[in-house]
Amino acid sequence: MASSFLNIVNATLDWVTATLDAPSSRAIVFGVPIGGHLFVEVLLFLVIVFLLSQKSYKPPKRPLTEKEIDELCEEWVPESLIPPITEEMQCEPPVLESAAGPHAIINGKEVVNFAAANYLGLIGHEKLLESCTSALEKYGVGSCGPRGFYGTIDVHLDCEARIAKFLGTPDSILYSYGLSTMFSAIPAFCKKGDIIVVDEGVHWGIQNGLYLSRSTIVYFKHNDMESLRNTLEKITLKNQRAKKLRRYIVVEAVYQNSGQIAPLDEIVKLKEKYRFRVVLDESNSFGVLGKAGRGLTEFCGVPVEKIDIITAAMGHALATEGGFCTGSARVTDHQRLSSSGYVFSASLPPYLASAAITAIDVLEENPDLITKLKKNIAVLWKGLSGILGLSLASNPESPIVFLRLEKSTGSVKSDLQLLEDISDRLLKEYSVFVVTSKRSTLDKCRLPVGIRLFVSAAHLESDLLKASESLKRVAESVLKDHI
């Protein structure tokens, strides 16, 4: 069958060739012989030119009638400005009616508060209140301008110098909002084409900074140094172009989404081996880790100058607001011209900068605050050990005690519902206020959800025992059918 078809095709081609090469298909124009092939090609070219020169058909224009306009308007449905609100998005968070100290008022009832990152118990501290009052009387409430446009006040410079002196760095820069520190500092240094290797468990502020940088993002397994090593090796050895790019490692000191502590000494060794820069967020470790509260560098015995960029929010241990970035003078000076959160935001209200200075003074004068915090963490850890259906996922020295389900339901939504049932019953039945690690639709953290307890130096031992005992009772009740 195939041979017959080929014979037919060959015979057809021979016939066409013979026809075009025949004398009857040739012509002589001005003494130039023109073959059949050239004649056909010229003819086709003229046909194409003719078709292209013709005007395309357009239906006659006719204005729409009033009836047609009304019908189109009735049929038109505008696109929604926001995605549909699902049932799990609709929630009413508890409303505090007092300061967010170790004890707070919610719905007219006093509760033990484990939902605020008031690590040193400085919320409502007398010296901080006095400092704020004096600053308010002198400077007023706001600055009404960015730092580069008449928004710089002497107390801002004093605060930057105080932070740098406390941490042992050459210089610091203040930001108006803690969360904006990371998603302004990262894009200030990381640009399109750069490579950023980041822990998969970082919080949303870092995620947003990564997105705004437009850099190439590579994740490694949460707090897994072997995964980090393999990732760095793969990038540097298998990609020759990577050696000419800026390369960063971004980690948290204490991970907000797990309570784990980053092994900074190992990270620095890998950084030096593969020639990367390190960006470290100390929001949950500043004022907490280390003998004097200088953070993860002091805790791990790593010289602070080996960390290229350090950021932190001041709304946790310092019980104020805003954030800072510290490092070399070149690092801070670059941000004063290139960091959007610094250049375009109104500067930090002066009274908050004054409170931050006072908070650091209080910390240096009272190192027993860190000792008390460590003791409270140990008491809560001991009380929560062996809790039915839940497991401790955080580091024993972390101020964030993180509880996860021992056995997942297989669905993040179902897991979160179980954990929220526990936290709701704790608040209603035992007046203990804890929070789940519920995430927004923008948060791309890959870690399991859990219950977070923020431990404070101001918590009494009775508060810690009450929390651990009530958690055990509620968890056993809620998870009895799940275990």
CATH number at residue 382: 3.90.1150.10
Question: Residue 10: which residues within 8 A CB-CB, separation 6 or more?
Answer: none
265 shares a domain with 165: yes
Whether residue 384 is predicted with pLDDT greater than 90 in this model: the reply is yes
Residue pLDDT, tens place only, 341-367: 999 999 999 999 999 999 999 999 999
If asked whether residues 111 and 228 sit together in one domain, one would say no
297 within a domain of the structure (yes/no) = yes
The confidence score (pLDDT) of residue 420 equals: 93
386 and 360 share one domain: no
Q: What is the pLDDT of residue 3?
A: 64
In the listed set 335, 365, 395, which residue is the last one of a domain according to the structure? 365
Residues 342 and 196 in one domain: yes
pLDDT at 36: 57
Residue 142: other Cβ atoms inside 10 A:
14
Interhelix angle 2-21/36-53, rounded to 10 degrees, is: 90
Instruction: Please report, for the domain that includes residue 324, its CATH number.
Output: 3.40.640.10
Determine, yes or no, domain membership for 29.
no
**pLDDT, greater one: 412 or 5:** 412
Residues 268 and 282 placed together within one structural domain of the fold: yes
Token digits of residue 411: 């669905």
Q: Is 194 in contact with 209 (CB distance < 8 Å)?
A: no
Distance CA 353, CA 324 (A): 11
Say how far apart CA 52 and CA 137 lie, in whole Å.
80
Q: What does the pLDDT read at residue 360?
A: 97
Comparing 236 with 185, which gets the higher pLDDT? 185
Residues 205 and 227 in one domain: yes
- Average pLDDT of span 234-252: 84
Residues 173 and 237 in one domain: yes
Whether the per-residue pLDDT at 35 is higher than 80: the answer is no
φ, ψ for residue 253, nearest 5 deg: -70, -55
The residue type at 149? F
Has residue 46 been placed in a domain?
A: no
C-alpha–C-alpha distance, residues 79 and 81, integer Å? 6
Higher pLDDT, 241 or 443: 443
- Residues facing residue 405 across a β-bridge: 390
Count of beta carbons in the 10 Å neighbourhood of residue 266: 15
* For residue 1, pLDDT beyond 80: no
Contact 356, 132 (CB under 8 A): no
pLDDT score for 356: 97
Strand order in the sheet with 247-252: 171-175, 323-327, 309-313, 277-281, 247-252, 195-199, 216-220
Domain assignment present for residue 157? The answer is yes
The residue ranking higher by pLDDT, 230 or 479, is 230
Question: What DSSP designation does 169 have?
Answer: -
How many angstroms separate the CA atoms of 282 and 289, rounded?
A: 10
Pair (451, 348) in one structural domain: no
Average pLDDT of span 243-269: 94
Query: Are residue 371 and residue 361 in the same domain, yes or no?
Result: no
Spatial contact of 181 and 382, defined as CB atoms under 8 Å apart: no
Whether residue 454 contacts residue 117, with contact meaning beta carbons closer than 8 Å, is answered with: yes
User: Is 300 inside a domain boundary?
Assistant: yes
> Residue 176: is its pLDDT beyond 70?
yes
List the structure tokens of 453.
């307890």
Is residue 78's pLDDT more than 70?
yes
For the residues 371-387, what does the mean pLDDT come to? 95
Q: Are 467 and 453 in contact (CB under 8 A)?
A: yes
**Average of pLDDT values for 59-75?**
83
The predicted model gives 12-29 an average pLDDT of 56
Do 437 and 386 lie in one domain? The reply is: yes
Percent of the chain with pLDDT over 70: 89
Report the alpha-carbon distance of residue 355 to residue 361 in Å, rounded: 10
3-class DSSP state for residue 376? helix
Query: pLDDT per residue over 285-338, tens digit each?
Result: 999 999 999 999 999 999 999 999 999 999 999 999 999 999 999 999 999 999
pLDDT given for residue 6 in this prediction: 60
**Where does the pLDDT of residue 30 fall: very low under 50, low under 70, confident under 90, or very high at 90 and above?**
very low
Q: What does the pLDDT read at residue 8?
A: 67
Domain hosting 114: range is 87-121+367-479
Tokens in use for 415? Answer: 């897991």
**Considering the domain boundaries, does residue 42 fall inside one?**
no
Amino acid identity, residue 475? A
Can you give the pLDDT at residue 266? 97
217 strand-pairing partners: 196
Total domains, the chain = 2
How large is the average pLDDT for residues 228-237?
A: 92
My answer on whether 280 and 357 are in the same domain is yes
* Average per-residue pLDDT for the chain: 89
337 and 372 co-located in one domain? no
Q: 207 in a domain, yes or no?
A: yes
* Residue ending a domain, choose from 350, 365, 380: 365
Asked if residue 288 belongs to a domain, the reply is: yes
- Residue 320 burial by CB count (10 A; 0-12/13-18/19+): exposed, middle or buried? buried
pTM of the model: 0.82
- Candidates 400, 352, 404, 356; CA nearest to 376 is 400
The pLDDT value given to residue 128: 96
Which domain-ending residue is among 330, 365, 400? 365
